Structure 1
């Protein structure tokens, strides 16, 4: 009888120990899920826009071109599509985007050229909160304004997950030219202080929106990880009890 009581006390002790380990590992599981989660799927199409330089004028027109391109592409699709459909749409309507970019530059008084390319595009490493997006070649639409030596902006067109990137842009070799070689503007357009503030505010909002979207995605993935972990623990406990009773 005493041996039976002692045996059950040992079982209760083991259960208590397991529950303590479970509670201690809760936060570790959430952190691990956040660090290993890939918020951008392998099958995705990005948009990268390189500014001519880091001058306020060139960063200003980069933001204007960005808005024009994103607005145009948003008007093409009203419902979710597959990545194959996204590729076909982008390739078949590239000329339309080129016309939009050319018109935007002309309307704002910029006479340097631009290039576009669709395919594998080089991206720099990007640290975004707890997530790291490694450098490499990714499927994308690249828009290079002028010399393409300024900070870039990029987002994920498919699936849509956009945010600003302030990593310094590098010129990408082998792009298809759709305009003349970049020319130095005769008189560089200087945006007004209100225009500059508007662009800076828009970029700041893009950063905030992207950060919130990333945090929500990380939190959701972490919760899923923890739930599966808890289920596995209780399944193991149940199997252990069944083995004791056998």
Structure 2
């Protein structure tokens, strides 16, 4: 039996939507697997002599969070190659100079990754001392402060951010913004680092004493974003 034109159009739309939903669910599974991989490389406190990598996504939209992770992978892959060619791969000064020597390459890399995906918002790549909020990972608090870092800002830079120690390599699971939360102003948590000023980190997350802190996780936000987008299709 031959279907009329209207029925064929409806079926084509349904098949297209089903394919999109399947693709998004596949990306969700891949993202979850990537987070498990990230979690497996956490292995101790951040060394005092280190260079961090911080990537700020344009927004919390699914597509912006995905491009953030893809740029992360591209930068880390390039850095692994450059540092591996150093005479002393554990030398911080050599690593710093390598990053400076390749700033043009890093800018082109970010621009190319965005362009390949049809994204035209602005971006900025800089190596400098930049502020970091208190970070909580795996029960360890990394105190807020100004740290040397390669910072990549994508678009408006208002989305959840990802960070790791670029040198020596030490990367962390991308769970929400990674900002630490604590229960009371008096709460003290053992922090990573060897300096006396960084032994303890205190994080106040609420101005009201009875307000409960909210913990957000990247994977959950990612799923909610997909579901909201799917709802908009129907």
TM-score normalised by L of structure 1: 0.52
Q: Could you report, residue by residue, the CA deviation over 1:34-85 in whole angstroms, capped at 9, with x for unpaired residues?
A: xxxx711111100000000000010011111111111111111226230000
Structure 2 segments unaligned to the other structure (5+ residues): 1-43, 180-217, 223-234
Partner residue in 1 for 2:147: 138
Partner residue in 2 for 1:186: none
- CA RMSD, aligned part only? 2.4
Alpha-carbon distance between aligned partners in 2 of 1:169 and 1:127, rounded to the nearest angstrom: 6
Partner residue in 2 for 1:89: 98
Alpha-carbon distance between aligned partners in 1 of 2:141 and 2:57, rounded to the nearest angstrom: 23
Contact (CA 8 Å) 2:58, 2:158: kept in 1 or not? yes
Contact (CA 8 Å) 1:114, 1:143: kept in 2 or not? yes
Alpha-carbon distance between aligned partners in 1 of 2:146 and 2:176, rounded to the nearest angstrom: 16
Runs of 4+ in 1 over 6 A off after TM superposition: none
Shift in alpha-carbon separation, 1:169–1:108, aligned structure 2, 3 A:
farther
Contact (CA 8 Å) 1:119, 1:139: kept in 2 or not? yes
Shift in alpha-carbon separation, 1:48–1:163, aligned structure 2, 3 A:
same
Alpha-carbon distance between aligned partners in 2 of 1:78 and 1:116, rounded to the nearest angstrom: 22
2:45 pairs with 1:39: yes
Partner residue in 2 for 1:56: 62
Structure 1 segments unaligned to the other structure (5+ residues): 1-37, 171-198, 204-246
Larger radius of gyration: 1
Alpha-carbon distance between aligned partners in 2 of 1:98 and 1:63, rounded to the nearest angstrom: 16
TM-score normalised by L of structure 2: 0.54
Partner residue in 1 for 2:121: 112
Shift in alpha-carbon separation, 1:85–1:58, aligned structure 2, 3 A:
same
Contact (CA 8 Å) 1:47, 1:156: kept in 2 or not? yes
- What secondary structure, in the 3-state scheme, does the structure 2 residue paired with 1:76 have? helix
Partner residue in 1 for 2:82: 76
From the two aligned structures, give the one with the greater helix fraction.
1
2:160 pairs with 1:151: yes
Give aligned pairs, total: 137
Alpha-carbon distance between aligned partners in 1 of 2:146 and 2:64, rounded to the nearest angstrom: 25
Contact (CA 8 Å) 1:124, 1:167: kept in 2 or not? no
Alpha-carbon distance between aligned partners in 1 of 2:136 and 2:95, rounded to the nearest angstrom: 27
Partner residue in 1 for 2:131: 122
Alpha-carbon distance between aligned partners in 2 of 1:117 and 1:52, rounded to the nearest angstrom: 16
Alpha-carbon distance between aligned partners in 2 of 1:41 and 1:99, rounded to the nearest angstrom: 29
Alpha-carbon distance between aligned partners in 1 of 2:131 and 2:173, rounded to the nearest angstrom: 17
- What secondary structure, in the 3-state scheme, does the structure 2 residue paired with 1:142 have? strand
Contact (CA 8 Å) 1:51, 1:169: kept in 2 or not? no
